[in-house]
Amino acid sequence: MRRRLSLLVAAVALLAVGARGPAFAAVKTYTVPVISDFSGAYAELFKAYVPVHKAVFAWWNDTVGKELGVELTPKHYDGRYDATVVASMWPAILAECNPVMGLGAGGPDVAALQQRLPKDKVPVFYGTAAYGYAWLPDQWLFHPRPTYLHEILGAFNWYIGQHPEKRPVKLGQLTGNVTAAIDMQKGMEKYVTEILEPKGLAKVVAKEFVDINPTDISSQVKKLIDAKADIVVAPITTAMTTAYVRACQLHGVNIPTIASPHHTIFPFGRAMKTYEPFEGHMVVAGHVAVTKTDTAGYKFFELLAQKYGLDKNGWNAFTIMAFNQALLAVRALEHAAKKVGGANLTGQAVYDAMFEGPFTQEELMGTLPTLAYTKEAPFPLGKDVKVMIETVKKGQYTVATDEWQPIPADLRKW
């Protein structure tokens, strides 16, 4: 009797295991360190980033990770947007997380980690555009967007095409006294002087330098006015933008600017409750326009708001960068897991996956165009890289054009 009972118990156990099989497959959890800023210059931005990171990872775990036997847990670290802080934290992050990938904040952690990552074998993903000085081969840093200059030139070339006058567009440059801004200024001047001016399309008429957090720049703006600039490139902080608007109002002019979405129209408009001072100004980025709500990207946001707790009003110029960053990262890990197995992921496997095929617009949930990477640069290049341009029309923040616009194919390193 005992023997019969034992056999019956064993048979039931085997049947139960067979029936449950894949549903009870082992799941391996990977902790993903996220360099953030909760107490530095961009703390407001990262307040918006964190819920997006958590929601995208939770959605991926539910829809993809469970099929691959993978669960991703983001862990945020306050780097204070300070390279020395990030550098001091990184060894402990490696020991604590043993990461196969990470998410970065921006320039300070690029400076702190760029030379370390190839040795540590940890690819790090960003949500922003890149800089010219980062245009180096064999990097372990990945951006979903090309350089800021690629993006700005995409908008500038579009603006030239819309310009009603058959004469060179007069370009004024307003540059912050920091490496990132000077990098853009040099690249812009080189491209306009060598490519556009010989074709009679544009010329640089003025270059002015200001602090990145200025109080008054009326004298610099007066020089742009005197040079008869048609358009100005490019404030890189909201403080620069605010000072620029005040100076234009003082002089009774409105010379439009081209900048990135998170620097000008959106943050200023949110603070001042009006977009009117930016009539005709433009912002540009290599991701879907946040002013469009008829896109796959916006529908994905609505899904996360309904099921994963995102603020239903949280689709904006800040959060879109967190979407880009998190989506590219989870898709890269997903590509790697499908190749090596969910239990066998390494930083090297995720890094290799970046070069083994494109990440389609559908995979990236419509927030980005299709992206393909080579070891030539830590950002996408080629015909598929596009931008969307937004502006202010009759006081409303909206798209300048519904269509994706190409970046210039003839831009070379500067």
- Whether residue 191 is found in the same domain as residue 297: no
Q: Could you tell me the pLDDT band of residue 163, with boundaries at 50, 70 and 90?
A: confident
Is residue 8 in a domain?
no
pLDDT the model gives residue 40: 84
- Tokens representing 40 are 């530095």
Please give the biggest Cα pair distance in the chain: 104
Question: How far apart are the C-alpha atoms of 305 and 191, rounded to whole Å?
Answer: 42
pLDDT the model gives residue 238: 86
Is residue 7 in a domain?
no
Query: Does residue 382 register a pLDDT over 80?
Result: yes
**pLDDT greater at residue 251 or residue 176:** 251
- Whether residue 140 is found in the same domain as residue 155: no
- Whether residue 274 is found in the same domain as residue 232: yes
Q: β-strand 70-78 against 28-36: which pairing, if any? A: parallel
Is residue 361 in a domain?
yes
Query: Does residue 78 register a pLDDT over 90?
Result: yes
Full-prediction pTM beyond 0.95? no
- Whether residue 172 is found in the same domain as residue 127: no
Q: Which domain holds residue 107?
A: 28-146+293-381
CA distances in angstroms from 364 to 88, 325, 330, 350, listed in the order given: 33, 10, 10, 16
Query: Does residue 316 register a pLDDT over 70?
Result: yes
Range with the largest mean pLDDT of 26-35, 44-53, 155-164, 264-273: 26-35
- Whether residue 170 is found in the same domain as residue 279: yes
CATH at 200 = 3.40.50.2300
- Whether residue 281 is found in the same domain as residue 298: no
- Provide CB contacts within 8 A for 382, sequence distance 6+: 372
Mean pLDDT of 328-345: 98
pLDDT digits (tens, 9 = 90+) for 213-256: 899 999 999 999 999 999 999 888 888 999 999 999 999 999 99
- Provide CB contacts within 8 A for 200, sequence distance 6+: 167, 168
Is residue 328 in a domain?
yes
8 A C-beta contact, residue 388 and residue 404: yes
Q: Could you tell me the pLDDT band of residue 192, with boundaries at 50, 70 and 90?
A: very high
- Whether residue 177 is found in the same domain as residue 241: yes
pLDDT digits (tens, 9 = 90+) for 95-141: 999 999 999 998 889 889 999 999 999 999 999 999 898 899 999 99
- Whether residue 139 is found in the same domain as residue 155: no
Query: Does residue 11 register a pLDDT over 60?
Result: no
Q: Could you tell me the pLDDT band of residue 155, with boundaries at 50, 70 and 90?
A: very high
Query: Does residue 15 register a pLDDT over 70?
Result: no
Q: 10 Å Cβ neighbour count for 272?
A: 13
pLDDT the model gives residue 376: 95
- Whether residue 203 is found in the same domain as residue 157: yes
Query: Does residue 165 register a pLDDT over 90?
Result: no
**pLDDT greater at residue 189 or residue 272:** 189
8 A C-beta contact, residue 72 and residue 61: yes
Burial class (CB in 10 A: 0-12, 13-18, 19+), 5: exposed
CA–CA–CA angle 101, 106, 108 (5° rounding): 105
- Tokens representing 325 are 């960053």
Residue at 311: amino acid letter: D
Question: How far apart are the C-alpha atoms of 42 and 97, rounded to whole Å?
Answer: 24
Query: Does residue 384 register a pLDDT over 90?
Result: no
Sheet with 102-103: list strands edge to edge: 70-78, 28-36, 102-103, 124-125, 141-142
Is residue 6 in a domain?
no
Q: Could you tell me the pLDDT band of residue 22, with boundaries at 50, 70 and 90?
A: very low
pLDDT the model gives residue 25: 57
Average pLDDT across the chain, whole number: 92
How many domains does the chain divide into? Answer: 2
Q: 10 Å Cβ neighbour count for 405?
A: 18
Map residue 113 onto helix, strand or coil.
helix
8 A C-beta contact, residue 103 and residue 75: no
Q: Could you tell me the pLDDT band of residue 348, with boundaries at 50, 70 and 90?
A: very high
pLDDT the model gives residue 17: 37
pLDDT the model gives residue 3: 47
Mean pLDDT of 154-182: 91
Mean pLDDT of 289-297: 96
What kind and span of H or E run contains 142?
strand 141-142
Q: Could you tell me the pLDDT band of residue 183, with boundaries at 50, 70 and 90?
A: very high
pLDDT digits (tens, 9 = 90+) for 31-58: 999 999 999 878 888 989 999 999 999 9
Question: How far apart are the C-alpha atoms of 35 and 103, rounded to whole Å?
Answer: 6
Q: Could you tell me the pLDDT band of residue 2, with boundaries at 50, 70 and 90?
A: very low
- Whether residue 242 is found in the same domain as residue 153: yes
Is residue 11 in a domain?
no
- Whether residue 137 is found in the same domain as residue 214: no
